[in-house]
Structure 1
Amino acid sequence: MADSPDPSFKPALLVIDMQEDFCPPNGTLPVPDARSITPLINTLLALPTLPLKIATQDWHPPAHISFASNHSAPHNTPFTSTTTITNPLNPAESYTTRLWPVHCVAHTPGAALLPELHTAHLTHTIQKGTDPRVEMYSAFYPPLHSPRMSDSGLAALLHGEGITHVYVVGLAGDYCVRSTAEDAVREGFVAYVVEEGTRPVDGTGWEGCKREMEERGVKVVREGGREVGRLFGRVEGSG
């Protein structure tokens, strides 16, 4: 007789921004070695132990505030310039964000999910970064909370399905993956970032980024570890 499902462990997979513009050779904001993580992600997508498999896409309008080209010189150099973003609903709340090359503009080839990604296994796709006024690294919501000006609906979807643990993979490890995992912790989920399933924009800062995620409650785990093994039935429950 089969064992009953463990109600304390109902996992979901979050596949973050596996899009052409984030990948060599033709992406406008290519993350080094980004395409190499696709086989592992496809392996996870095929697992029957993950009832929700959700992809995200950056889906920006051309006038998006994070594009360096939408700012005036000399403060409009991609990767090095920054801008301050203010909550449209509360001028007292603001944050500073890095400026980027134009990327993942809605309905363009660069915004498409990679053709080698096994999208037939996805249960949902969420588009984010659609408001030109704010950056949105996290798959949940922008980093503006007083009041929160938008919400992707991801938290409600996960809570509605009784999800307890989220496994986060995709691009980029030090931006959208990190922000998604940290917001997942804030929403009450156990959040794992699978290290072999992500790549950072800034490789030299990756070790520090991982430490900061761990300090915020995210667990950075390895493909061969107990947490991922649990999805394959290799180990008993953990974490």
Structure 2
Amino acid sequence: MNALIIIDVQYDFLPGGSLAVNQGDEIVQTINDLQSKYDLVVATQDWHPRGHKSFVTSHPGKEPFEEISLNGLNQVLWPEHCIQGTKGAELVPELLTNAVEAIFRKGMDKEIDSYSGFFDNGRKKSTGMADYLKGRGVTEVAVCGVAADYCVYYTANDALDLGFKSSIIESASKPIDPERYARMKKDFQAKGGTVI
């Protein structure tokens, strides 16, 4: 059984949002068209509390996209985004969600970021998505959405580590940094992932 995992198609990650992925809005229709090709469709939603430690505003004197060490992990400092209960955190209405059977929220612990749809960045807490997919008999996942070089990549990579056959759908994903994505893609393929 296969599953489509739709990553973070939220206002703040699309043009006009606080952490917009260039041309991120262009993939929404492709994602909609893909949904009927999969046995199961799930989605993730970045869902940060106010004052999250990944926000540059939580670190006076620091600049957006600067990297720091946070609780022993490298952390990019992001503009405030996807704050719980705000419009920026909502899935965009253009994304069809009738077929989406479950939405897994991530980034809710103020002290640690969560790029992957499966775990926080320290792999200390699970979102429950792995158990959900395995419980439904899923053996293969395809991951799409934004951003290809962060949350899409880390979700697809964790899927490999969890024993799923995993792929990234390039036509339905957009990166923040295309050069970074090219490196991540090579790493993912070297581990046995596929890019389609």
User: TM-score normalised by the shorter chain: which range applies?
Assistant: over 0.9
Amino acid at match of 2:152: V
Deviation (angstroms), 1:214: 1.1
Asked if the contact 2:141/2:166 (under 8 Å) is kept, the reply is: yes
Contact 1:55 1:122 in 2 (8 A): yes
How high is the TM-score relative to the length of structure 1? 0.80
> CA contact under 8 A between 1:126 and 1:152: conserved in structure 2?
yes
1:55 aligns with 2:43: yes
Tell me whether 1:130 sits opposite 2:120 in the alignment: no
The match for 2:21 among 10, 13, 31 is 31
- Corresponding pairs, count: 196
Deviations 1:45-96 (CA, angstroms, capped at 9, x unpaired): 233xx232101100000111110011021xx2112x122122xxxxxxx211
5+ residue gaps, structure 1: 1-9, 87-93, 222-239
The aligned residue for residue 150 of structure 2 is 175
* Alpha carbons 1:182, 1:217 under 8 Å: kept: no
TM-score normalised by structure 2 residue count? 0.96
Give the partner amino acid of 1:77. E
Does residue 68 of structure 1 match 2:56? yes
Equivalence map 1:24-173=2 (5 Å)? 24=15, 26-47=16-37, 50-73=38-61, 76-79=62-65, 81-86=66-71, 94-145=72-123, 148=124, 150-173=125-148
> Identity rate of aligned residues, in percent?
38
Q: 1:144 Cα shift?
A: 1.8
Q: How does 1:184-223 map to 2 (within 5 A)?
A: 184-221=159-196
Bigger CA radius of gyration: 1
Could you list the runs of 5+ residues in structure 2 that have no partner in the other structure?
none
Alpha-carbon RMSD: 1.1
